[in-house]
């Protein structure tokens, strides 16, 4: 092998094909290493950020005092614990009354994140009260003043600057006050019918928290069965982990995670295509050398060993370069993540990258290159030497075998790196099916075009080979386009969530007798608002006269808790009717949220039974609708026709937008409606805007990275075109064709390939982006701009390449070209 390896190594590094293969492998290793490392860091960052905003890793909550068995179980699993009790109450001084969110905490709070108060204090003492900025403004108090919560009087000792337990729910942004857990009883604020939540906060290692979750799920079915057997209604016991809370804030980051995984898949595909094309070019350039080795007596085993050793050298060079570039790129992406979550402390560790993502990237890159090269080498080794010297074209069987092994290695590469089997299966399955269908379509189109004997038919000489080039070129171009299209769709989706005038104030608990006055005030101040919806609590208990099964009750949170019900002839503006009549025309008609209907098996025409404070209510399902839960407008699972329920049985809720300059007017409004809860979500809006702006930077960097991979594919395609046309141009020059005619021929032929590839790439991009949009919960729609840009751009670009990049072949003396190709 040593005798064959040295000349093979020297000859290979004298050709251009080996360098492009090294570049493709380097990019595959560096890009996939950095992307996988960044993906792991993003997932870790999201989990920690969510935990900090929840103040714990797990929160067990109930409307009744929690049983001691849960505390014992948490202790057995080695989890730290903290008790928090939250309820709404009236805070007042001698002159001012404000409805506030009272949060009673203990010395261990928070378990995650940081609670910042001014002046600084570690724990709150009995008899003290800490107030948020909004609460201090409304109560017009300062440090040292006295504030009453129901029957108890407290001394203001600090202002809350940052609350670790910011759950982004309605209560999370209410005027908040904190008291000691021991002071809850002396307020006498908790009475029969009071809305209160008892929380057990827990934190620990992922293994311990997962073990607690598993035990909780095992115990819940037994408790549900006991409740059903005794005809008791299941209380509001609920276990939440950090990632299940804060959906409005985490949705953009979840989209980024999917986008990152998609970027992983597309980069892998583009690198794989580049590796495949460059590997095939390298094999074609070396088939004469293989034939020569066979003629001088080298065995198949010796030649195969020499090529494997050569590939090992190529991989070694790519590993060194890919490691250096991958570490630098991973560090850059990590710096963006630290901007995204400033409070997150992540130590960049080269070692963690070297022992984590890098070995996987190296191994899978080796599998890909072997998957594409070895079948071609093996086919050449099994060809008689005289036939190899005559440069017989590859058989269809060899090409199919190479595509099968290469595709399988790419699929393995994608699954290992993304660890998302579903997304990989959707995207890879769509791409493979599309490639097959479009290749056959282009091939048949070229055959028909060739048989029509038109002027352009002369430029179609090898339909199967030209179709393969067009498909590869179109695939590379479309994968770049997919990420650009999805980037635009993501930005539009995020911007649509925060349009100008997005409500930044929520109001709930508004008494019915105050509703007309509040509407008048909103109109007077010219503050844009949603309708004020009656909010009545109730439970769904039966469908078509039959109670829901125990299994369904166990699975569905909708059946285990009280729901916010409303009645209105106006739907929230982001609700879309997907089935049934648009309007609720009759008393007892009800509109159902589509996902809830699917979960509970509810269909149009079914009769639903609800348990309300004033008794039972039967309603007929009139339509199903989708709901944008991440929007900043009131939304409901069930909306009834007007006058179906007693509006005075509950309260009203709605949202409105207050310009920053009108904040003093808002304070006066809140003081005027002292028994109503006003929630300021402007902090949440600012947080999402900040995150979106940084997500744009990350998405842009990923798009650029994929574009570099796509550019490599284009170069590989062009190199193959150059190799194939070199002999044709030499023969045409030998037969007397003029340089101008050859330039004209190359311009039209390559331009035609670009036109077809541009059209095909649009089809690719639309279908693949539709699949990705479905997985990312984005609106699927055609992108007409790419249909106008890509075909024209690719036609002009390829025509220019054909005229000025390939036309140099016409300047080479024919004898020199023929000699070079037979060296």
| Partners of 197 in the β-ladder | 86
- Please give the Cα distance from 778 to 279 (Å, whole number): 37
pLDDT above 60: residue 227: no
E strand or H helix at 533? strand 533-543
Cα(701)–Cα(555) distance, rounded to whole angstroms? 41
pLDDT number for residue 414? 65
Task: Find the mean pLDDT for residues 214-243.
Answer: 60
**To the nearest whole percent, how much of the chain has pLDDT over 70?**
67
* Tens digit of each residue's pLDDT (9 = 90 or more) over 591-604: 999 989 988 989 99
Q: Which residues contact 2 (CB under 8 A, 6 or more apart)?
A: none
pLDDT reading at 234 higher than 60: no
Q: Classify residue 166 by burial, with Cβ atoms within 10 Å: 0-12, 13-18, 19+.
A: buried
Q: Which residue has the tokens 């995020």?
A: 494
Average pLDDT (292-314) is 79
Residue 402 CB neighbours (<10 A): 23
Lowest-confidence range among 150-154, 497-501, 516-520, 561-565? 497-501
Which runs of E-coded beta strand occur in 746-809?
Answer: none
Residue 103 burial (10 A CB sphere; 0-12, 13-18, 19+): buried
| CA dist., res. 432 & res. 268, Å (int) | 14
Grouping H, G, I as helix, E, B as strand and the rest as coil, residue 624 is strand
pTM above 0.85, yes or no: no
Q: What is the per-residue pLDDT across 766-818, written as a single tens digit (0 to 9) for each?
A: 887 777 777 666 667 788 888 888 888 888 877 777 676 666 666 666 655 55
Gap between the Cα atoms of 732 and 621, Å rounded: 76
pLDDT value at position 589? 92
User: CB–CB of 263/483 below 8 Å?
Assistant: yes
Split at pLDDT 50, 70, 90, the class of 80 is very high
| Residue 433 main-chain phi, psi, to 5 deg | -65, -40
Closest CA to 699 of 753, 766, 755, 776: 776
126, 251, 287, 485, 495 from 490: Cα distances, Å: 49, 11, 48, 9, 8
User: pLDDT digit string (tens) for 123-174?
Assistant: 899 999 999 888 888 888 999 999 999 889 999 999 988 776 655 444 444 6
Distance CA 232, CA 391 (A): 83
Q: Per-residue pLDDT for 5 more than 90?
A: no
% residues pLDDT > 90 (the chain): 10
Classified as helix, coil or strand, 591 is strand
Phi and psi at residue 610, to the nearest 5°: -120, 145
Residues across the chain: 823
For residue 148, the model assigns a pLDDT of 92
Q: Residue 254 — pLDDT band, cuts 50, 70, 90?
A: low
Cis peptide before 119 (omega within 30 of 0): yes
Q: Are 235 and 557 in contact (CB under 8 A)?
A: no
- Per-residue pLDDT tens over the stretch 521-540: 888 888 888 888 988 888 99
Phi-psi sector, 127: left (phi>0), alpha (psi -120 to 50), beta: left
């Amino acid at each position: 092998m040593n005798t064959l390896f040295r000349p093979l190594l020297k000859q290979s590094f004298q050709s251009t094909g080996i360098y492009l293969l090294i570049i493709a492998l380097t990019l595959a290793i560096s890009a996939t290493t950095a992307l996988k490392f960044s993906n792991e860091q993003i997932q870790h960052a999201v989990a920690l950020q969510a935990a900090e905003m929840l103040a714990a890793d797990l929160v067990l909550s109930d409307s009744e005092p929690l049983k001691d068995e849960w505390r014992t179980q948490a202790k057995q699993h080695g989890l730290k614990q903290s008790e928090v009790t939250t309820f709404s109450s009236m805070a007042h001084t001698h002159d001012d009354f404000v409805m506030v969110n009272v949060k009673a905490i203990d010395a261990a709070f928070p378990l995650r994140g940081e609670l910042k108060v001014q002046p600084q204090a570690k724990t709150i003492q009995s008899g003290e009260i800490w107030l948020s900025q909004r609460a201090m403004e409304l109560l017009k108090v300062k440090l040292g003043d006295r504030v009453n919560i129901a029957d108890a009087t407290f001394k203001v000792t600090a202002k809350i600057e940052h609350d670790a337990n910011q759950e982004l729910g309605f209560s999370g942004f209410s005027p908040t006050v904190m008291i000691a857990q021991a002071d809850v009883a002396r307020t006498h604020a908790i009475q029969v019918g009071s809305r209160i939540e008892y929380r057990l906060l827990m934190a620990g290692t992922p293994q311990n928290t997962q073990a607690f979750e598993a035990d909780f799920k095992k115990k819940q079915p037994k408790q549900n069965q006991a409740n059903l057997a005794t005809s008791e209604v299941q209380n509001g016991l609920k276990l939440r982990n950090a990632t299940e809370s804060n959906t409005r804030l985490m949705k953009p980051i979840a989209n980024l995670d999917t986008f990152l995984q998609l970027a992983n898949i597309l980069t892998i595909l583009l690198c794989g295509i580049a590796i495949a094309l460059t590997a095939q070019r390298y094999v074609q350039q070396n088939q004469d050398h293989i034939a020569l080795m066979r003629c001088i007596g080298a065995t198949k085993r010796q030649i195969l060993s020499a090529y494997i050793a050569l590939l090992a050298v190529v991989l070694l060079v790519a590993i060194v370069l890919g490691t250096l570039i991958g570490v630098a790129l991973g560090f850059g992406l990590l710096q963006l993540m630290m901007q995204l979550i400033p409070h997150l402390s992540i130590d960049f560790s080269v070692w963690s990258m070297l022992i984590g993502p890098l070995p996987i990237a190296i191994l899978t890159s080796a599998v890909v290159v072997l998957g594409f090269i070895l079948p071609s080498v093996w086919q050449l080794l099994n060809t008689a030497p005289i036939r190899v010297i005559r440069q017989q074209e590859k058989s269809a069987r060899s090409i199919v075998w190479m595509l099968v092994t290469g595709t399988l290695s790419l699929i393995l590469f994608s699954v290992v790196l993304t660890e998302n089997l579903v997304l990989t299966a959707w995207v890879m399955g769509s791409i493979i099916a599309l490639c097959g269908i479009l290749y056959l379509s282009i091939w048949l189109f070229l055959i028909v075009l060739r048989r029509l004997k038109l002027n352009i038919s002369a430029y179609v000489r090898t339909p199967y080979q030209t179709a393969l080039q067009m498909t590869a070129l179109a695939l590379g171009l479309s994968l770049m386009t997919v990420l650009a299209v999805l980037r635009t769709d993501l930005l539009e989706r995020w911007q649509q969530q925060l349009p100008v005038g997005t409500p930044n104030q929520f109001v709930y608990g508004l008494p019915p007798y105050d509703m007309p006055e509040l509407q008048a005030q909103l109109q007077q101040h010219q503050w844009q608002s949603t309708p004020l919806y009656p909010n009545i609590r109730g439970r769904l208990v039966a469908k078509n006269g039959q109670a829901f099964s125990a299994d369904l009750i166990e699975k569905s949170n909708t059946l285990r808790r009280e729901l916010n019900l409303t009645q209105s002839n106006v739907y929230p503006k982001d609700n879309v009717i997907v089935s049934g009549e648009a309007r609720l025309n009759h008393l007892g008609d009800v509109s159902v949220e589509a996902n809830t209907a699917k979960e509970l098996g509810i269909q149009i025409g079914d009769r639903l039974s609800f348990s309300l404070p004033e008794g039972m209510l039967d309603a007929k399902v009139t339509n199903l609708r989708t709901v944008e839960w991440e929007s900043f407008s009131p939304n409901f699972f069930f909306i009834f026709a007007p006058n179906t329920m007693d509006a005075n049985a509950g309260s009203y809720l709605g949202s409105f937008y207050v310009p920053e300059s009108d904040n003093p007017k808002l304070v006066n409004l809140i003081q005027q409606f002292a028994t109503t809860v006003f929630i300021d979500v402007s902090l949440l809006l600012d947080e999402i805007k900040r995150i979106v702006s940084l997500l744009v930077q990350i998405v842009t960097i990923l798009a650029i990275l994929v574009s570099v991979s796509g550019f490599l594919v284009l170069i590989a395609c062009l190199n193959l075109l150059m190799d194939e046309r070199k002999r044709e141009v030499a023969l045409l020059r030998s037969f007397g064709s003029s340089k101008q005619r050859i330039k004209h021929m190359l311009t039209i032929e390559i331009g035609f390939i670009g036109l077809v590839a541009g059209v095909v790439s649009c089809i690719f991009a639309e279908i693949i982006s539709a699949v990705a949009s479905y997985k990312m919960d984005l609106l699927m729609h055609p992108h007409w701009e790419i249909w106008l840009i890509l075909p024209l751009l690719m036609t002009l670009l390829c025509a220019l390449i054909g005229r000025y990049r390939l036309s140099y072949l016409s300047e080479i003396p024919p004898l020199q070209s023929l000699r070079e190709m037979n060296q």
